[in-house]
Amino acid sequence: MRIKEKMPKRQVIVGTAGHVDHGKTSLVYKLTGIDADRWKEEKIRGITIDIGFAHMDSDDISVSFIDVPGHKDFVTNMLAGVHSIDFAILIIAADESVMPQTKEHFDILNLLGIEHVFPVITKIDLADEDMISLVELEVEELFEKAGRKIENLFKVSAVTGEGIEEFKSFLFDFAKGIDNFSSIRPAFLNIDRSFVIKGYGTVVTGTLMAGTLKINDEIAVLPSGKTGKIRNINTHGEKVEEVSAKKRAALNLPSFKKEEIKRGNIALKDNLNLTTSIVDAKIKVISGYLNFKDLTRVRVSIGTEDAIARVKLLEGKELKVPFETYCQLRFEDSIACYTGERFILRHFSPLFTIGGGIVLDNKPKKRKGYRGAQDLKNKDKTDFEGIFLAIVEEEGIINSGLLRERVFVNSDYFNSLVKRLKQKGKIIVLDNGNSILSFNYYSGLTGTLIEKVKSFQTENPRKPGIPYAYFSETEKPVLEALINKKRLVKEGDVVRTPDFKSKLSVDENKEFERLIKLIEKGGLTPPMMNVLSNEFKDKSLLKDLLKRGLEEGKLVRVNADFYLSFSSYNDFFERFKNFTKKMPEFTLQDIKPVFNISRRYLVALLEHLDGEGVTVKVGDKRKVIN
């Protein structure tokens, strides 16, 4: 099949909604010439069971229809298609008027925040003028109860063709004014079908919600996280090199098995993990209960996914219906979703719509009790900057990669957002851009860390500073910033304030002087650690005194058991240099007469020189390194 090089510049998605057998599929067929009933069973039963797709094109725009099932048993399939639409048409048959699924579909469109919904009265060839007028009044009442005004109402017949061209012209004109291209989100597609084509392998279909996808792009399928390359792309029956936002697409993913992908998964071209089991959300419950209890089990239709979750209320154990509140959804199985995504809530059993909501944060901490609503209120924003700041304020410090997963924007937009907020002084960026902190958290933690260092120094005056290991991984980025700014000093494995010097008490100073004298008196054969440990019962004090001796240059550490006074070490080294001028290669027996000390001490000193790079041992000889 040849690859089609040109497609209409833009594409707009229109959803059809309404009661079973009210003429949705027939209307779409009349408008497009495409039968959206794909399955044999649909033909036999005369109703749409699964989502159907069709399109009509003009020179500069393509209008795609998602024809959703109207029967109450197939509302789940309807929800799998409605997530991607730009506007909707609500179908009402002139011979039956407003029916149960008309109301439920209309509720769903309202709960999902679909801004434009146009009522279309179909089958006008089956009703007289009085009946049509009555239907108009009932449609007006339906919209008024939802707090909506009817923008345009159309009356058509798919049989006679009455009103079809006028309606078609309106759809093209209205679609041209829709701005649905997202240059902020990464490229992603909500999968609504998965099947196998012989010779090609697994194929998935869905609506590309943002960005572009090209042949050979690598995508991840979430929530599993498995990755693979796109071998072929098809849209509107044509094979293409790439597909852009808001176009229906079929992606050939031969590296996947059919069972590895299902409706509800997300195909994503970015290194982001949207997999989660808990989300912060704002929900609106409009029916199904007198009182809605904490941890009620519900079905959540989000994207093309139909998942089971419990609703963790944050403002009380029970709320009277109808209500709007902040909550957490705790899913029984992991799903893939993103912050800002809308969803529908349905009664667990029997199935019917009870409300809807929006994801405020796709990876929050688990909340307990009836607290945390204020944190969610702060995240209830419509702009990415507001969402970004609210998450950072709540966390205090957060890894930049995790933050991008929670805001869900592409890398270019995320980097520009970080740069802008940093310039405004609203965030602090540390750890080479890996850690993002709120200004308040940074200021508070700065003071806390400096106080932590000072308190340790006060409580441990003879220690050189607080061990670096005492700080948590969360604290270390701020700690490093304080060290870079020279507000703290890191020496080896300890941290101190710039003006701090370890101090000894009067009694400890006396012990220090006694230690130095003992070691000095021993010359090249001072007391080893086992002897010193008997002399100084406080082992912690002995360790600190030895470290103090090293810091002040009074002692030299030969090994863990053996310390020399600085003067004794200098004497040893001068005598060693004089000896090696005449004998740059020597054995232990050659040098032993020079120092006349026991083998234990002499071997330790020579091994120390090996470690310092002064000598190298070859066989039973040592050689001075020039």
User: For the segment 2-15, what is each residue's pLDDT rounded down to a tens digit?
Assistant: 444 444 457 888 88
Question: CA dihedral defined by 564, 566, 572, 578, rounded to 10 degrees?
Answer: 160
- Asked, colleague to colleague, whether 10-176 and 381-503 share their fold, the answer is no
Measure the CA–CA gap between 94 and 131, rounded to whole angstroms. 7
Q: pLDDT tens digit string along 6-61?
A: 444 578 888 888 887 888 888 988 998 876 544 343 333 332 323 456 888 887 88
Domain ranges of the chain: 10-176, 188-268, 381-503, 539-626
Q: Does domain 188-268 have CATH number 2.40.30.10?
A: yes
Strand partners, 191: 206
pLDDT for position 44: 33
Specify the pLDDT at position 388. 97
- Residue 69, pLDDT score: 45
Q: What is the pLDDT of residues 400-435, one digit of tens each?
A: 999 999 999 999 999 999 999 999 999 999 988 999
Per-residue pLDDT tens digits for 380-401: 998 999 999 999 999 999 999 9
Q: Tell me: pLDDT of 75 over 80.
A: no
Mind listing the pLDDT tens digit for each residue in 116-134?
Answer: 999 999 999 999 999 999 9
On the question of pLDDT at 246 being above 90, the answer is no
Q: How confident is the model at residue 251 (pLDDT cuts 50, 70, 90)?
A: very high
What local confidence, expressed as pLDDT, does residue 626 receive? 67
pLDDT category at 513 given cuts 50, 70, 90 is confident
For residue 553, pLDDT over 60 is answered with yes
Total-model pTM: 0.75
For residue 626, give Cα distances in angstroms to 342, 513, 609, 613. Answer: 74, 38, 13, 10
221 has pLDDT over 70: yes
Q: Residue 96 to residues 35, 115, 134, 141, 153: CA-CA distances in angstroms?
A: 23, 26, 11, 16, 17
Mean pLDDT over each residue of the chain, to the nearest integer: 88
Rounded Cα gap, residues 33 and 552, in angstroms:
92
DSSP 469: G
Q: Of 151, 172, 135, nearest to 31 (Cα)?
A: 172
CA dist 596 and 559 (Å) reads 20
Q: List, in sequence order, every residue forming a beta bridge with 318; answer none if it has no partner.
A: 293
- Convert the pLDDT of each residue in 325-348 to its tens digit: 999 999 999 999 999 999 999 999
Whole-number pLDDT of residue 124: 94
Return the pLDDT at 32.
87
Determine the average pLDDT of the residues in 587-601: 92
Instruction: Return d(Cα 396, Cα 10) in angstroms, integer.
Output: 41
What three-state secondary structure class fits 187?
coil
Residue 499 and residue 457 in contact, taking contact as beta carbons nearer than 8 Å = no
CATH 3.10.50.40 fits 381-503, yes or no: no
Handedness of CA 90, 94, 95, 97 (dihedral sign): positive
Q: Give the domain 10-176 fold.
A: Rossmann fold (3.40.50)
Report d(CA 81, CA 88) in Å as an integer: 12
- Could you give the count of Cα atoms lying within 13 Å of 309 in the half-sphere of its Cβ? 27
Structure tokens at 442: 């940074």
CA distance 21 to 46: 8
Predicted confidence band of residue 507 (pLDDT cuts 50, 70, 90): confident
CATH class of this structure's domain 539-626 = mainly alpha
The reported pLDDT for the residue numbered 5 is 42
Residue 585: pLDDT band (50, 70, 90) is very high
State the burial class of residue 498 (Cβ atoms within 10 Å of its Cβ: 0-12, 13-18, 19+).
Answer: exposed
Q: Which of 131, 147, 27 is nearest to 88 (CA)?
A: 27
pLDDT over 70, % of the chain: 92
Q: Say what the pLDDT of residue 504 is.
A: 67
Q: Which two tokens stand for residue 136?
A: 């108009």
Q: Which residues of 362-376 are buried (b: 16+ CB within 10 A; e: fewer)?
A: bbbeebeeeebbebb
Question: With 60 as the cut, is the pLDDT of residue 172 above it?
Answer: yes
Tell me the Ramachandran region of residue 393: left when phi exceeds 0, alpha when psi lies from -120 to 50, beta otherwise.
alpha
Note the pLDDT of residue 1.
36
How would you label 555-592 residue by residue, b for 16+ Cβ within 10 Å and e otherwise?
A: bbebeeebbbbbebbeebeeebeebbeeeeebeeeebe
- Among 237, 238, 218, residue whose Cα is nearest residue 228: 218
Order of strands across the sheet that contains 154-155 = 52-57, 61-67, 10-18, 87-93, 117-122, 154-155
Q: Which of 187-196, 214-223, 388-397 has the lowest mean pLDDT?
A: 187-196
- pLDDT band, residue 180 (cuts 50/70/90): low
pLDDT band at 366 (very low <50, low <70, confident <90, very high): very high
Q: Residue 304 corresponds to which amino acid?
A: T
Whether residue 556 is predicted with pLDDT greater than 70 in this model: the reply is yes
Instruction: Tell me how far apart the alpha carbons of residues 345 and 300 are, in angstroms, rounded to a whole number.
Output: 5
Mean pLDDT, to the nearest integer, of 221-239?
91
pLDDT score at 50: 35
User: pLDDT at residue 140 above 50?
Assistant: yes
